[in-house]
Amino acid sequence: EAGVTQSPTHLIKTRGQQATLRCSPISGHTSVYWYQQALGLGLQFLLWYDEGEERNRGNFPPRFSGRQFPNYSSELNVNALELEDSALYLCASSLDSYSGNTIYFGEGSWLTVV
Amino acid sequence: QKEVEQDPGPLSVPEGAIVSLNCTYSNSAFQYFMWYRQYSRKGPELLMYTYSSGNKEDGRFTAQVDKSSKYISLFIRDSQPSDSATYLCAMSVDTYSGAGSYQLTFGKGTKLSVIP
């Protein structure tokens, strides 16, 4: 069974540009979570989507946004990129909205802002 | 005070040793406690999941939660070089209860090296 898949693996953008990251959850999972893992800061919760709706949002500015598609895949958009947005962006999924304490991560997308 | 504190290490042990990894936390509302293992440049892998206080064992891994002390531990018996990774503790307040749920709070991770 395929795990959580993310693309692209690596992305280099210039400050001020927009980045789009994509995630496919484990088959049968409806909830998708996004986390940022920046050097020295640990994993920080970004967003939670379930059944196409945003259910929860972490302490990040509005330029971090996303959506979940009818097939439960998701994308994370980061607008007006800043240097400090350079980080590993991790997508995770859980079976449903009642299973959010057991989430399974993908390999992540490395975003570098120069 | 940070919500979750975890000694970043690095921790270096010889093969076969018993490893003890720990986290302390300040939010008494945390009820669910998880341990993740993260190999270099990979995503975190869920190792153990515990609800409330007590012990849970899975093979060479034992997770302990002491809610009265706000302290959780992960023990690794007969450690192997393949256990070399960063170990992250994570915790959350509650199961599904509408808005605000499932915001896992992670420690910064302890880097473990098991020397052959």
Residue ranges per structural domain of chain B = 4-95+103-115
Long-range contacts of B73-77 (CB under 8 A, 24+ apart): B73/B20, B73/B21, B73/B22, B73/B23, B74/B20, B74/B21, B74/B22, B74/B35, B74/B47, B74/B48, B75/B18, B75/B19, B75/B20, B75/B21, B76/B18, B76/B19, B76/B21, B77/B18
CATH of the domain at A93: 2.60.40.10
Reply yes or no on whether the pLDDT at B99 is more than 70.
no
Residue B45 at interface with chain A, using a CB cutoff of 8 Å? yes
What residues make up the domain containing A12?
5-113
**A42–B109 C-beta distance less than 8 A:** yes
- To the nearest whole percent, how much of chain A has pLDDT over 70? 99
Fold of the domain spanning B4-95+103-115: Immunoglobulin-like (2.60.40)
Mean pLDDT across the stretch B40-62?
91
**B49–A101 C-beta distance less than 8 A:** yes
Mean pLDDT across the stretch B40-61?
90
The alpha-carbon gap from B91 to the nearest alpha carbon of chain A, in Å, equals: 8
* Domains: count for chain A: 1
Q: B100: pLDDT confidence band, cut at 50, 70 and 90?
A: very low
Q: What residue of B is the nearest CA neighbor of A96?
A: B96
Of B88, B103, B107, the CB nearest to A45: B103
Please give the pLDDT value at position B103. 75
Q: A98: pLDDT confidence band, cut at 50, 70 and 90?
A: confident
